[in-house]
Structure 1
Amino acid sequence: MRLASLGSGSKGNATLIRAGDTLVLVDCGFAVRETCERLARLGLSPADLSAVVVTHEHGDHIRGVLPLARRYHLPVHMTFGTLRAISAPNSRHSLEGVTVQEVRPGRAFSVGDLAVMPVPVPHDAREPCQYVFESGGRRTGVLTDLGSITTHVTEAYSACDALLLECNHDPAMLAAGPYPFSLKRRVGGDLGHLSNQQAGSLVRVLEQHRLQHLVLSHLSEQNNTPAHALEAIAAAGLDDAARVRVACQQQGFDWLEVN
């Protein structure tokens, strides 16, 4: 397995998971042209993709999904709740010409060489879920956009070989930052986004000896810094520059091998 990112943050998210000839794009928060440019940095084009898997309907995750899928004839996997959200009467999204496969949280499905487990998470979306991908006995988890760590989340992600983990904000920076109070309450709430310390609480109970790569993701540009995020993860027992890195908004990160 391999994983890479086209970008991670509030301005757009897209993650690539590869196993054999299968290449899955998790979310696409960029317009089609920008997505193509970001794929080209990795020597890829949309024609190389096998499918798009969607976590939830927020714009920084779904902006380019349907236009990309329509243009390149890609199947899109999403929950029924997410589908309902983007097909609501006031939605600006069009499903015309797009093949949608329904995802049921907790029920695994396959995309080529990848087994995919959808994991329901607490977030302020219609039916959000994150994913654990498995191939050849290796497991890669994608876990962003959730406001709290549930027992189910802990169980689903404890035995990953690679993990893309949200470290959205530092609580002190969020409290002192420019957001209005209502947005601060949303971001820091149980249906919002993980703080560095919440991410650290999950890292403490992971099978750390198994984890080859931990990528800290979805960092807020206003309410966090890479140094704050890395410090919280180091305090949780994983202070290893060879295994821990930070995904950025502009560059994401290059391919990481999961052996």
Structure 2
Amino acid sequence: MRFAYLGSGSRGNGAVISSGSTHVLLDCGFPAGEAQRRLQRLGLEASQLAAILVTHEHGDHIGGVSALARRHRLAVFMTLGTRAAGKMHADVDVQVIDGHSPFAVDDLEIHPYPVPHDARQPCQYVFHDGQMRLGVLSDAGCITPHIRSMLAPCDGLAVEFNHDRDMLARGPYPQSLKTRVGGQLGHLSNCQSAGLLAEIGMARLQHLVLAHLSEQNNSQALARQAAATALDVDEDWVQIADQDQGLDWRQLAPR
């Protein structure tokens, strides 16, 4: 199994997870044409995708889903709440999922799990190819016991490191937005995500990717330092999904 990012941040999110000939797109917060260009950068065409999975209805995650799915006749998987709140064209094939029940897309077994975020029925996902597990966590305001249990057995992780608490407090956002971002239904801080990593540890981890970094309230240096310290690894080992450049393929392989 391998994975890559089209881009990650408040201006658009999207990741690709692949096993064999199965490729799924996780979120698409970019216009369809831009998403296609970013997929090509990874050596893929949108027509090769087996499906699009959606985490929640916020525009930086769902903005390009309907157009891309309609253009390439792709099935879209999302919770009922996301379906109700999201804007999908009538002829898009929407498959409603239970946020607690696994399902399969060709060679991938996919385990959704609910997260605390200010959306209708948000979920994140763990991907399993029969041997390796990749866990993705973003757009959550706090770490729950269920989140820990879902991510602990993963061989690869992509985890939100949205903001540095001090930078958020001193930053340009109005107080209402600062309260939202830092709240229980907002986004994970460097400190929160580092605490999760310290609990999980390095026993299984092959790759760690930091995602959804705020351009106003965080820096790659601060996020990478927090993650590396939590896992007691070199900072160079920690990867970051960039807003504009995304992240090239990372491979998970049995040891």
Provide TM-score, normalisation by structure 1: 0.96
State the AA in 2 paired with 1:237. L
Residue 218 of structure 2 corresponds to residue 218 of structure 1: no
State the AA in 1 paired with 2:157. L
Q: What is the CA distance between 1:207 and its match in structure 2?
A: 4.1
| Matched residue, 1:184 | 178
CA distance in 1, matches of 2:16, 2:245: 13
Q: How does 1:239-254 map to 2 (within 5 A)?
A: 239-241=233-235, 243-254=237-248
For the residue of structure 2 that corresponds to 1:124, the secondary structure is: coil
Q: Which shifted more, 164-173 or 32-41?
A: 32-41
CA distance in 1, matches of 2:237, 2:96: 34
Residue 9 of structure 2 corresponds to residue 4 of structure 1: no
CA distance in 2, matches of 1:138, 1:205: 20
State the AA in 1 paired with 2:17. I
| Matched residue, 2:21 | 21
Check whether the contact 2:224–2:235 (CA below 8 A) recurs between aligned residues.
Answer: no
CA distance in 1, matches of 2:237, 2:52: 27
For the residue of structure 1 that corresponds to 2:193, the secondary structure is: helix
CA distance in 2, matches of 1:59, 1:173: 24
Query: Superposition RMSD on alpha carbons, in Å?
Result: 1.0
Gaps of 5+ in 1: 87-92
CA distance in 2, matches of 1:237, 1:134: 23
CA distance in 2, matches of 1:248, 1:107: 31
Q: How does 1:83-232 map to 2 (within 5 A)?
A: 83-86=83-86, 93-232=87-226
For the residue of structure 1 that corresponds to 2:43, the secondary structure is: coil
* 1:29-72, Cα deviation, whole Å (9 max, x unpaired): 00011011111111211011000000000000000001100110
* 1:116-166, Cα deviation, whole Å (9 max, x unpaired): 000100000000000000013100011100000000000000011111100
**Aligned in 2, Cα 1:238/1:75: closer, same or farther, shift over 3 Å?**
farther
CA distance in 1, matches of 2:218, 2:201: 26
**Aligned in 2, Cα 1:50/1:173: closer, same or farther, shift over 3 Å?**
same
**Percent of pairs with identical residues:** 54
State the AA in 1 paired with 2:184. D
CA distance in 2, matches of 1:39, 1:159: 29
Check whether the contact 2:201–2:231 (CA below 8 A) recurs between aligned residues.
Answer: no
CA distance in 1, matches of 2:134, 2:11: 24
CA distance in 1, matches of 2:153, 2:36: 33
| Matched residue, 1:75 | 75
State the AA in 1 paired with 2:198. R
For the residue of structure 2 that corresponds to 1:236, the secondary structure is: helix
CA distance in 1, matches of 2:54, 2:234: 31
Check whether the contact 2:137–2:158 (CA below 8 A) recurs between aligned residues.
Answer: yes
Check whether the contact 1:70–1:98 (CA below 8 A) recurs between aligned residues.
Answer: yes
Q: What is the CA distance between 1:241 and its match in structure 2?
A: 4.3
State the AA in 2 paired with 1:147. G
Check whether the contact 1:79–1:102 (CA below 8 A) recurs between aligned residues.
Answer: yes
CA distance in 2, matches of 1:193, 1:212: 25
Runs of 4+ in structure 1 over 6 Å off? none
State the AA in 2 paired with 1:214. L
Gaps of 5+ in 2: none
